[in-house]
Structure 1
Amino acid sequence: MKNFIEEFKKFAIKGNLMDMAIGIIIGTAFNNVVNILVKKVVMPPFSLLTDDVNLHDKKFILREATEKVDEVAIGYGELIEVSIDFLIVALTIFVVIKFFNRFKSKSEDPKNSEVETPKNIQLLSNMERLLEEQNELLRKSQK
């Protein structure tokens, strides 16, 4: 039990727990933004293209409702809305990750003076340069 508590402390102190919590909170807020974007921005013009039909209510009825039984229907309109929702989320995440990767590749390029290169990349770059110099000296000494 003591080992488990120590392991949990290391996990929480490292920041992983905080990173996860921040990610979940931002993800929840982002989900709300996307829901409003789909329902209030994308779907109204889309409903104009379909003669002002609300896609959310579109369904294929398998069995009509009676006094004794409930209606059985396939709600394909909701599927269309959720698919559009998914596409917007996927596109947005793609654009954000593409932006971060571009910035990351700039920061990892030791020759790029626009962005400060992280220390570990600088050290690796210096090691690579020194190895190249060492190999060049070895080639000259063997001739």
Structure 2
Amino acid sequence: MAFFEEFKKFAVKGNVIDLAVGVVIGAAFGTITKSLVDDIIMPPLGLVISNVDFSRLKFVLKDAVIENGEVVEQAVTLNYGNFIQTVVNFFIIAFAIFLLVRTINRLREKEAAKPAAPVNKQEVLLAEIRDLLKKNNTDTPEAPDKVVV
């Protein structure tokens, strides 16, 4: 029974839940980005490059074997058009994540730069006196015979 209790502690921790939410949102974001690349970015880019459909760009390494009008063996191809779309997809996702992390870091810097809560003047004076007393105790190992004022 200890195994299940340990698993329950692990699974219910905030970090695991946050990770699960991140994975789900990341998958959805990946789908949106794929649609953006495939449906919005690549068609106009293909049009600019003389009506090229990137999803159909490929090198045929071995032609398909066709007998009696039926494909007996599929063609072997290098689908570099799909690869180009995937690379564009990756850069869009990487750029979006960069912007997100950059924004979070800037917010953290602003939070850290905020002045601390106002401190009581008495506390500040007492801290200064404490620091001076510590400094005087470490500067002179022996108590002086005479105090000069």
TM-score band, normalised by the shorter chain?
A: 0.7 to 0.9
User: More helix by proportion, 1 or 2?
Assistant: 1
Query: Which position in structure 1 is the counterpart of 2:27?
Result: 28
Between 51-60 and 102-111, the greater mean CA deviation after superposition: 102-111
1:95 corresponds to which of 96, 99, 105: 99
2:135 paired residue number: 139
Tell me by how many angstroms 1:110 deviates.
4.2
Return the structure number with greater strand share: 2
Which residue identity does 1:39 align to in structure 2?
Answer: D
The higher-RCO structure (CA 8 Å, 6+ apart) is: 2
- The structure-2 alpha-carbon separation of the partners of 1:8 and 1:109, relative to structure 1 and needing over 3 Å to count, comes to farther
1:73 is matched with which residue?
77
Q: Distance in 2 between matches of 1:48 and 1:42?
A: 10
Distance 1:75 1:6, change over 3 A: same
Deviation at 1:79, TM superposition (A): 0.5
Q: Deviations over 1:26-50 (max 9, x none)?
A: 1121112101111122112211221
4+ long deviations beyond 3 Å:
132-137
* Aligned amino acid, residue 138 of structure 1: K
How many pairs align? 126
Bigger radius of gyration among the two: 2
What runs of 5+ residues in structure 2 fail to find an aligned partner?
67-71, 118-123, 141-149
Give the 3-state SS of the residue equivalent to 1:84 in structure 2. Answer: helix
Alignment of 1:101-112 (within 5 A): 101-111=105-115
State the partner residue of 1:86: 90
TM-score normalised by length of structure 1? 0.74
User: Structure 1 residue 25: deviation in Å?
Assistant: 1.7
Identity %: 34
Name the aligned partner's letter for residue 98 of structure 1.
Answer: R
Q: 1:126 corresponds to which residue?
A: none
